[in-house]
Structure 1
Amino acid sequence: MTHYEQQYLDLMRHVWTQGHERVDRTGVGTRSVLGATLRFSLADDAVPLLTTKRVFWKAAAREMLWFLSGETNIRPLVEQGVHIWTDWPLDRYRRETGDAALSMDNFEARILSEPGFAETWGDLGPVYGRQWVNWPRYEAVEGQDGLFRRSAQGHNQIADLVRGIRETPGSRRLLFTAWNVDELAGMALPPCHMTYQFHVAGNRLNGLLFQRSCDLGLGFPFNIFGLALITRMLAQQCDLEPGEIVWNGGDAHLYLNHADLVETQLSRTPHGAPRLRLLRRPDSIFDYRIEDFAVEDYAPQASISAPVAV
């Protein structure tokens, strides 16, 4: 049988050889196609971790837990040794202060040691988690026609999703999104993996992610693991078995300065069948800890580094 990762490698090869070369927001340049679909089974604890390079799945899992907490500051991630979001606030700090010489290590050290510095420079704006669990809600001001104010407690899309899967499994509204048009300008990076939808088929839960923009070299490995993880968590919370996940890419691209990554990865042959186990069932979707997840039988080939385009 064809290895599950081969479809990803085929897409990478297609984008690299057939994609349209474009000038992008970052100025780096990409090769890009519009529209791609990949499908992966989650049966028998399968998880689509890439094997042609090492994926640091614990960092991706910590990021998912950070999203579900509603947090938008990088400090909790940095405390756990997760650096995947640091480039954006560091870039803003350098631009706004003129201190272009501050290294990432020193920036993160100040994030950890100086609460005021972290509050000012570590916040990413109303990114993913804020929208997932605290989407702005507005209420009419009593006695003031047409005047509304923002409620202290926003809309928790994730809690509503869990309730919907349990109570109305046939619904076509089992989804959540981070694409809040009114708040995009305040985000360090508008959401790339923007909309998740779920589908109950018998006793199985399937998950779909629409990703408006996907860096296939660096972003996709984390994004697909995150989709698998949250689908597994939701299935466990709703007494369902995991089915399959579907990834839809809008602008699927590879950066022009990722030639070494692409060529090295395409020269490798995928192998193995890693498994993701959930070791505990918490009281709610918001109570998982990193210790609740275990990946077994994962023997990837060496990691491949590449620069992040900010």
Structure 2
Amino acid sequence: THIWDSWADENGTIGKAYGWQLGQKSIYPEGEFDQVDRVLYDLSHNPASRRIMTNMYNHKDLHEMGLAPCAYSMTFNVTGDTLNAILNQRSQDMLTANNWNVCQYAALLIMFAKASGLKAGELVHVIADAHIYDRHIDAVKRIIEKEPYPAPEMVVEDITDFYKFTKNSFTLKDYKYHDFDEKIEVAI
């Protein structure tokens, strides 16, 4: 994907944002974990915990990030055999990013659930500043004038090892879309 190109440094990365933050290991009484492995551990060993979360907004590293994280934390809650999550986002370009943010975090919820022997439940998406840029208004108007299609079903392979998921583990059933030939630039 090239979505981050506008914020990439000379090495083609966005520095210490997103994945870098998730991959940093911390020491716990149970051992050393990065944030993803900590979530997986707690879902299996402490599912009633109110501390199952990730946080990618690390103030001490902001100056080394190409972009401060927009979607910055997830909090997980297990109720019975169902995993629910809250995604917190400080800022959302509704035209260019909302569709894939919702899809990627819904997929992530499903992945965590399957890897933990749980059912995927609700994803609540909290956006502090949801916006449409002035230069995108005409495109948004053209999009919302179209008759919407029913939502497709995301089908995910039954994989129990979180790290065995690939892009081929996901398919969309009954996905329909309208033609849209416009190039929408991300606002920076």
Q: Structure 1 length normalisation: TM-score?
A: 0.56
In structure 1, give the amino acid aligned to 2:179: A
Partner of 2:155: 277
Partner of 2:11: 121
Which protein has the bigger helix share? Answer: 1
Partner of 1:3: none
Partner of 2:126: 248
Secondary structure of the residue that 1:286 maps to in structure 2? helix
Q: How many pairs align?
A: 183
Choose the corresponding residue for 1:295, options 167, 172, 176.
172
Cα distance change, pair 248–232 in 1 and its aligned pair in 2 (3 A): same
Q: Structure 2 length normalisation: TM-score?
A: 0.90
Give the Cα–Cα distance (whole angstroms) in 2 for the partners of residues 206 and 123 of structure 1.
Answer: 31
Structure 2 residue ranges without an equivalent (≥5): none
Partner of 1:211: 89
Residues 194-222 of structure 1, C-alpha deviations (whole Å, 9 max, x = no match):
01111111111111100001111111111
Give the Cα–Cα distance (whole angstroms) in 2 for the partners of residues 282 and 170 of structure 1.
Answer: 20
Structure 1 residue ranges without an equivalent (≥5): 1-81, 93-119, 139-153
1:121 Cα deviation after fit: 2.8
Choose the corresponding residue for 1:191, options 52, 69, 74.
69
Q: Which runs of 4+ in 1 moved over 4 A?
A: none
Give the Cα–Cα distance (whole angstroms) in 2 for the partners of residues 273 and 194 of structure 1.
Answer: 26
Give the Cα–Cα distance (whole angstroms) in 2 for the partners of residues 292 and 270 of structure 1.
Answer: 26
Give the Cα–Cα distance (whole angstroms) in 1 for the partners of residues 39 and 96 of structure 2.
Answer: 29
1:129-208 residue pairs with structure 2 within 5 A? 129-134=19-24, 155-208=33-86
Which structure has more relative contact order (CA 8 Å, sep 6+)? It is 1
How large is the RMSD of aligned CA atoms in angstroms?
1.8
In structure 1, give the amino acid aligned to 2:177: P
Secondary structure of the residue that 1:125 maps to in structure 2? coil
Cα distance change, pair 167–155 in 1 and its aligned pair in 2 (3 A): closer
In structure 2, give the amino acid aligned to 1:215: D
Partner of 1:73: none
In structure 2, give the amino acid aligned to 1:242: A
8 Å Cα contact 2:117/2:160 also seen in 1: no
1:156 Cα deviation after fit: 0.1
8 Å Cα contact 2:14/2:65 also seen in 1: yes
1:67-146 residue pairs with structure 2 within 5 A? 82-89=1-8, 120-134=10-24
8 Å Cα contact 1:207/1:227 also seen in 2: no
1:155 Cα deviation after fit: 4.8
Cα distance change, pair 180–194 in 1 and its aligned pair in 2 (3 A): same
8 Å Cα contact 1:261/1:305 also seen in 2: no
Percent identity of equivalent pairs: 30
Secondary structure of the residue that 2:128 maps to in structure 1? strand
